Amino acid sequence: MSAYTSLWAKSDPPHPLWCHLLDVGAVIEAFWDAVLSEGAHRRMARALGLSAGEARILIIFLGALHDIGKAAPQFQFQDEALAAQTKDAGFGISRFVKREPRGAIGAEILYRHLTDTCAWEEKVAHDVTTAIGAHHGIVEGIDQRLFPSQGIWHEAHHDLIAMVETAFGLGDISSVRPGHLDRVGLCEIAGLISYCDWIGSASEYFTQGDYVLLFTGVISVEEYVTRTRENAKRALRESGWRRTPSMANRDWGGLFGDGFAPNELQRTGTCQ
């Protein structure tokens, strides 16, 4: 596997970055497929100027890569013990870099990928990646001076992006290009990703005791994504999440249980 397997995302207990990206991607995938209503799908799709199917692909992609900004020396060398394995894998710092918000670094990495590789319009890429970079509640502007992606760091970014595309069967993301953007809708999408990041960071569901095997790449992406998809479904189920039944073509008993009797106002509203 790539050298990216040595990069970490969580320190207590240790958890690799590539696993965390798949954890959150799996939560977003499960949330979209099993919790969000068709109306929510359409609303988020309109915010991106895409079909619901295209929006699903893009939101899983962006959400999984929400923390790609952790694949940078500003983050990786914060923990001395975990930094040792990062250095052993060949990652280093060619010059002094000060600590910067990882959300801003991640937004810049994604911005460069979407404009250079996927040929997105710069304004669209800026607005989308800024929203994703604000998943911790702080909106940071994109500044390419923060961390010019070079050498092994650039290779890690490329490989992590390709890993996410392959793991979730998203295909070539460059074929999905948003049209007009609705900024209110982008805030809703950012909120979804933020919440799924919180669920995907719950150690009782996603942090494994075999982290040494994960850091060394002994456990494959295919094996891990199968595991984390099941964990994501369990986490949402045990958190009480389920899709709210649609009111379309359902009577009162079907919505609220047999024996429910609507009052006159409710019956009138139904007739209208």
pLDDT in tens, 74-84: 889 888 888 88
pLDDT tens digits, 192-238? 999 999 999 999 999 766 666 777 778 889 999 999 999 999 999 99
Tokens encoding 41: 């799908």
pTM of the model: 0.86
pLDDT tens digits, 15-34? 999 999 999 999 999 999 99
